[in-house]
Amino acid sequence: MSTRFGRYLFVGALLVTYPPSAAVPQGTPERAATRVAENVTVTILSSNLANGATIGEWGLSALVTADGQCVLFDAGRHPDTVLRNAEALDVDLSCVTDVVLSHFHFDHTTGLLPIVQAVRVKNPEAIRRVHVAEGFFLPRRAPARGGDTEWNQMIALREAFTEAGVEFIEHDAPTEIVPGVWVTGPIDRPHPERNYPSTVQVRLDGNWVEDHVPDSQALSVVTPKGHVVLLGCGHSGVVNALDHIQGAIADAPIHALMGGLHLFSASDETLG
């Protein structure tokens, strides 16, 4: 197996074993991973850090290729960041068939429509499916910030995607979207990890409750060495996400973890 990670844009990549496990795969019978990806490349296309000819932003996007299949994980914030960085890194996005959005926040989503429009010039069949977790399109509000106006930019943008022939697929459970590449759907949260603000509310089952970002999901590529995991912000909690992946997709080591983790203010005790 070969695994290559992008060098030019870097977002919190960690190589870990969490915890050791015997072989791939050993997942739950109804959702066990039965296929692995042998050749995996992850290229970061949007990050708050950049060098060379690339540009940075407060956002996240990564191209995942697994045995020739191309999946875009998140789409960044600004309309040109991912496209400019892809050009600078000589990355062809017209191969992308599927997009995974980790959650609804604008810095992971609002760059997508310009990407769709750009790649369709070369490949009219590119980016036909966008995978999100259940809860992605729920309305939000922020009364603590002085307003009761409902919002979620993806509700407003959905019609434009539909007109472009893009289908949103909402997942309520782990799903293999291309061979060896999985989305988690909503993540179980048995560990008391809090990784979201207290000022936003979500309308859940008709009631306004604290927005714990129920649509937060992860992507995992199952490889012979274990899971290669991408998180958008890790709003579900990093430990919760990794436990969920190992319990519901494949009981295998975590070979690599990268993406946004929101651990910049975490205590030493938490990180330990």
pLDDT in tens, 241-270: 999 999 999 999 999 999 988 776 667 776
3-class state of residue 220 by DSSP = strand
Please answer whether residues 16 and 261 qualify as being in contact, where contact means their C-beta atoms are separated by less than 8 angstroms. Answer: no
Q: For residue 52, name the pLDDT band (cuts at 50, 70, 90).
A: confident
Mean pLDDT, residues 1-21 taken together: 40
For the domain bounded by 2-271, which CATH number is listed?
3.60.15.10
Specify the pLDDT at position 36. 96
Whether 188 has a pLDDT exceeding 90, the answer reads yes
CA dihedral 90, 260, 98, 43 (to 10 degrees): 20
Specify the pLDDT at position 265. 67
Whether 29 has a pLDDT exceeding 90, the answer reads no
| Pairwise CA distance, residues 31 & 28, whole Å | 5
In 77-152, alpha helices (H)? 81-88, 106-109, 112-122
Whether 106 has a pLDDT exceeding 80, the answer reads yes
Whether 133 has a pLDDT exceeding 70, the answer reads yes
Q: For residue 144, name the pLDDT band (cuts at 50, 70, 90).
A: confident
Predicted TM-score (pTM) of this structure: 0.89
Specify the pLDDT at position 148. 84
| Pairwise CA distance, residues 218 & 186, whole Å | 9
Specify the pLDDT at position 197. 87
Specify the pLDDT at position 10. 37
Whether 26 has a pLDDT exceeding 90, the answer reads no
| Pairwise CA distance, residues 28 & 243, whole Å | 13
Specify the pLDDT at position 111. 98
Q: For residue 2, name the pLDDT band (cuts at 50, 70, 90).
A: low
Strands 175-178 and 181-183: antiparallel
| Pairwise CA distance, residues 141 & 238, whole Å | 25
Beta strands in 115-174 (DSSP E): 129-133, 140-142, 147-151, 167-171
Over pLDDT 70: what percentage of the chain? Answer: 85
Measured in degrees and rounded to the nearest 5, phi and psi for residue 190 equal -70, -25
| Pairwise CA distance, residues 1 & 244, whole Å | 24
Specify the pLDDT at position 146. 75
3-class state of residue 92 by DSSP = coil
Question: Is the Cα dihedral 259, 72, 115, 109 positive or negative?
Answer: negative
Q: pLDDT (tens digit, 9 = 90+) per residue, 62-90?
A: 999 999 999 999 999 999 999 999 999 99
The domains of the chain are located at 2-271
Q: For residue 201, name the pLDDT band (cuts at 50, 70, 90).
A: very high
